[in-house]
Every structure is written in structure tokens, then in C-alpha cells.
A and B are shown apart, each in its own frame.
Chain A
Amino acid sequence: MSAPEDRNNVEQREIEALEQREANAMLGADTSTLQTLWADDMVVNSTANLIAGKKILLEMVQNGQLKLRIYERRPVRISVFGDLVVSTGNEVSQLIGGSIAGFKLFTSYMNVWTKRDGNWQLLARHLGLIHREKPESVQ
């Protein structure tokens, strides 16, 4: 039987891979992957101070409102609490389209993953703005 720390290491690696998979799905506007990785009752609080759920976010990805040129995620700490995992780190993103297109956003994030029916899903997410870098054309 494996020790709790070993099991936590396995789950940490699993969540780390899922974090990258979810970030890649956002970058590629891959809504079928996001549909699987996001819990139906997911709650997201963005840097725009808007609280949104799965349905509206999928709609925004599908409609190109959340089209990204850059999306990089770096987990800093992944904490395992049984069937709940809290991942904290930072992200760099750049939107295509809209008046803030071209701005690079440096954000911190906290993602909460939950295991349901044997599968990990993103349940909650909070973003905080660290820095917004203007594109060269408007500097």
C-alpha cells in the first residue's frame, strides 16, 4: 500500500497534466475538451470582476470572444485534499480582438479541481491581475 505522500504526488502530476491540457484547449478554442474538463457547476471569477459559469464561457469561446494568441500557465503549488485539489500559479495571456487585443495580461490564478465519478474536473477558478503590458504599437 502506498503512503499518502506518494498518492499525493501521483495526483499532483495528474492535475499538472490536466492544467496544461485545459490551457491548451483554451488556446485552441477546443470546446469539446473544455466541455469534458469543466464541471457543469463551475464558477469562474475573472480579472474583469465578472463571475461566469460553464455555459456562458463555452459560448464565449465558441463565438470567438475569448480567442487567445498566447496562453501560458505555470503552476506554482498544487495542494491535494482528497478529492479536491487546489492549484495556484501564474498565467500569461493575450487576446485576439476587442479593444484590449494585444495587451499581455500577467495574472495569478487559483484553480479548484474535484474528482467526480473517477474523473477530475475544474470546479472553480479565480484570477487576479498582476500586470498588464501594453502592445508596442500603443506604448
Chain B
Amino acid sequence: MHGDEEREDPKILVVEDDEDAREAMIALLQMKGYQAVPAGNGREALDYLDQASAPDLIILDLWMPVMDGWHFRAEQIRNPRLAHIPVIVVTALSDRADVDANEVIIKPVDVDRLLTTVDHYCRREPTS
């Protein structure tokens, strides 16, 4: 028996203040077999990461109340326990230069591109 058979589905933290966008991404990721955890801003995301096991990937919006995506990312990089987690930024900003992330996807988000990128970072073959 391979250990992989007992491995849980990859976990993705979705940090997005817009409820429609967050819920739609959560539903989409769950439908594709991921565990998807919501957070409404950077502060909520850090609180979650402080208490839970590290996710395989973070999807991060930039413009959010309480703590925005830039501040969250800075805090994440400062924390050795969290710094290695890959981040996909989703933003309406067209200037990608000031965003420190593994990938930047411009809003509106192309679902096919998002899922391909998520599959890549979670090291899964794309689901049909």
C-alpha cells in the first residue's frame, strides 16, 4: 500500500474579502477535490494559519479591509513556518511588478487558468 493513498486532499486557503468571489472560488475548488478554507482578510488568514496546519497553497486578493494582501504577504514571508507556502495573487491591478507572489492572475479570473495553476502548485494532474 502506498502512503499517498491515505494522504488528505490538498488544502487551499482562499483570502478574499468579496463574499461572492470567495464563495465561488471555494465551491469551485471543493468541486475539484480540494479542501478550501475561507478567510475574509489578511488578519483572519494569519489567525487561521496560527492555529491550523499549513495549507498547500494560498490564493490571495490584494485590496482588502483590516489587513490587505501586501501586508499579509510581508507577515507570511517573515514567519519561517509560513514562508514556504506558495501564493497565487488574484487582483484587478495590471501592474504585477509590486506584487511578491509565485503567480499573479488578473481579475476577472479565468477559471481554467486558475485551476491549472492550482493543480501545478498542489502537484496534481488537472482533473477532467
Contacts and interface: CB of A to CB of B under 8 A. Distances in A.
B108 interface: yes
A100 B24 CA distance: 10
Interface size class, chain A:
20 to 34
B25 A50 contact: yes
Contact of A98 (B18, B23, B92, B111): B23
Contacts of A98: 23, 26-27
A58 to B, nearest CB: 12
Given A53-B111, A129-B20, A48 B25 contact: yes
A79 interface: no
A45 B111 contact: no
A14 B32 CA distance: 37
Interface string A42-83: 000111111111001001100101000000000000000000
8 contacts: A48-B25, A50-B108, A50-B111, A51-B111, A53-B112, A98-B26, A99-B19, A105-B20
Interface of B: 18-28, 31, 38, 92, 107-112, 114
